[in-house]
Amino acid sequence: MSSMASGILTKVISGLRCPRFTAAALSCSGQAYSTAALPKAVVTPNDITVDSDKLLNVPLSQPDFFRVSELFSLKDLFDARVHLGHKKGCRHRLMEPYLFGSRLEVDVIDLEQTVEHLQLALNFTAHVAFRGGLILFVSRRRQFGHLVERTARECGEYAHTRYWQGGLLTNATIQYGPGVRLPDLVVFLSTLNNVFQPHTAIRDAAKMNIPTVGVVDTNCNPSLITYPVPANDDTPAAMELYCRLFKMTINRAKDKRKQLELLRGLGPAASK
Amino acid sequence: MAAVYKVACRLGSGNVKCIFPRQSFYTHRKLYTSDSSVPPGGQGETEPQQPSAEKPKSGFAVAYELHTDLQQKQESTSSSRVGSTRDETSFASLLRHSPLVQMGPAKDKVVVGKIFHIVQDDLYVDFGGKFHCVCKRPSADGDKYQRGTRVRIRLDDLEMTSRFLGANTDTTLLEADGFLLGLVDTKAKA
């Protein structure tokens, strides 16, 4: 337990990008994600304000700036068996609007709705990654634990696929010391802890005002999740597809950020 | 029965939904091309007769008309942009023609699956459904069952679920149920 906690601690502390006192102030005030201070500091503090604001507003100019709708198609989702749901008896009442129907007791998720929801979710993830946000992948499915951890490592973000201690988000300052940076986005690749309980992190993230993106299957509760994606979370093909999509969006957003920074970096230098 | 009727209704409504975007697409096209001199759709056929009466169109205009006609023909036959009743890429159509739906009830259906994981004597077989199926390694030809081997399974259930007393929802085992028939072998089939 303690080794796990220390492992998580090193992960979180190594993700510190802003000075400790600002982070402490933010976490004490209850707001987990930084909006005032820029996490990735551009060269000198003097020319941060105007240039960084312009840089941050660049992706807001178009609805699909990162072109996430090009990353997947309905056919890709269908081939990865994203539309298959659980049996009718396992259905959660709040998932009924997302279902296409039920055939021979098996629920079928409406992929047209899934496409829209997935685009929204990926777009939001890209914007968070562009702004240097900390993304935490959570999944308690043991079958896909390694896949999720590998995905997080490959896009330079974080993952938590082990036992969720009660106070990880809500009691972070005491469990990990003051000045801990909490995630700015939590991505759930499976919202359930086991087949009976939803994951504690959904409730905790909602308590800490952290937006969540989650793949909700027909037996999950989509209420507290900010960007639910009604989709299958039990088939390896589907999980690999989501991991690949999230990894591609995050890498794309980060590359775009580096590219824009380089361009802006050349701008003021040339004028001087 | 009720479930099939519900799906049939949804499929029917899905088809109706698909027709409307096509009409709106053509009206949009009309709005777009009203600025230029080329009218869309069926009027394009009568168009060549008019300029001969009014004024013969020169090089670029003729090429533009030809191009838009070709584009319209291409778009009316291509199935990617506009949803039609026979559109392969609409979800309802994909679902209806998918092998899982065409198969019908899973009880006593023979499917071909692939072993993707082995734990000593347990073979985890993926046959294209939501869940995999776990079967015991048979005593005959035991060594031939390795990762990647294709096997024949007789399905019982796509997902093993049951409602226990006092529960709100079914408890699911997250596995399919099936009986291993044997290897997929051309010699065995013949």
pLDDT above 70 for A203 = yes
Question: What's the mean pLDDT in A176-180?
Answer: 90
The pLDDT of residue B25? 43
The pair of three-digit structure tokens given for residue A258, joined into one six-digit string: 């580096």
Q: Which chain B residues are within 8 Å of A110, Cβ to Cβ?
A: 91
Neighbour-count burial of B180, counting CB atoms closer than 10 A to its CB (0-12 exposed, 13-18 middle, 19+ buried): buried
Question: What's the mean pLDDT in B56-79?
Answer: 70
- Please name which of B175, B173, B153 lies closest in space to residue B163, comparing C-alpha atoms: B173
Among A9-18, A41-50, A199-208, A261-270, name the most confident range: A199-208
pLDDT tens, position by position, A17-46: 444 444 444 444 444 544 454 444 444 555
* Contact (Cβ atoms closer than 8 angstroms) between residue A204 and residue A182: no
For tokens 């072998």, the residue is: B185
**C-alpha span between B88 and B80 (Å, rounded):** 8
DSSP assignments along B164-186, one per residue: PTT-SS-EE-S-BEEEEEEE--H
Question: What's the mean pLDDT in B112-117?
Answer: 94
Q: What percent of chain B has pLDDT over 90?
A: 42
- Please name which of A17, A21, A65, A64 lies closest in space to residue A38, comparing C-alpha atoms: A17
Q: Report phi then psi at B159, rounded to 5.
A: -155, 125
Q: What percent of chain A has pLDDT over 70?
A: 79
Q: Which chain A residues are within 8 Å of B3, Cβ to Cβ?
A: 101-105
When mean pLDDT is compared across A248-257, B46-55, B89-98, B149-158, the lowest value belongs to: B46-55
pLDDT tens, position by position, B140-162: 888 889 999 999 999 999 999 99
Q: Which chain B residues are within 8 Å of A92, Cβ to Cβ?
A: 169
* Contact (Cβ atoms closer than 8 angstroms) between residue A252 and residue A130: no
Q: Which residues of A93-107 are buried (b: 16+ CB within 10 A; e: fewer)?
A: eebeebbbbbbbbbb
pLDDT tens, position by position, A57-74: 888 989 999 999 999 999
- Residues with Cβ within 8 Å of B166's Cβ and at least 6 positions away in sequence, in order, are none
**CB under 8 Å, gap of 24 or more: what pairs does B37-41 form?**
B37/B61, B38/B64, B38/B65, B38/B68, B40/B68, B40/B72, B41/B72
> Out of B3, B169, B172, whose CB is closest to A103?
B3
pLDDT above 50 for B62 = yes
Higher pLDDT, A12 or A138: A138
pLDDT band of residue A237 (cuts 50, 70, 90) is very high
Asked if the Cβ–Cβ distance from A84 to B130 is below 8 Å, we say: yes
The verdict on A249 touching B (C-beta cutoff 8 Å) is no
pLDDT above 70 for B39 = no
Q: What percent of chain B has pLDDT over 70?
A: 59
The pLDDT of residue B174? 93
ipTM of the complex: 0.74
Q: What is the pTM of this model?
A: 0.70
Task: Name the DSSP class of A180.
Answer: P
The verdict on A81 touching B (C-beta cutoff 8 Å) is yes
The verdict on A86 touching B (C-beta cutoff 8 Å) is yes
Count of Cβ atoms closer than 10 Å to residue A185 Cβ? 25
The verdict on B105 touching A (C-beta cutoff 8 Å) is yes
pLDDT above 60 for A106 = yes
pLDDT above 80 for A79 = yes
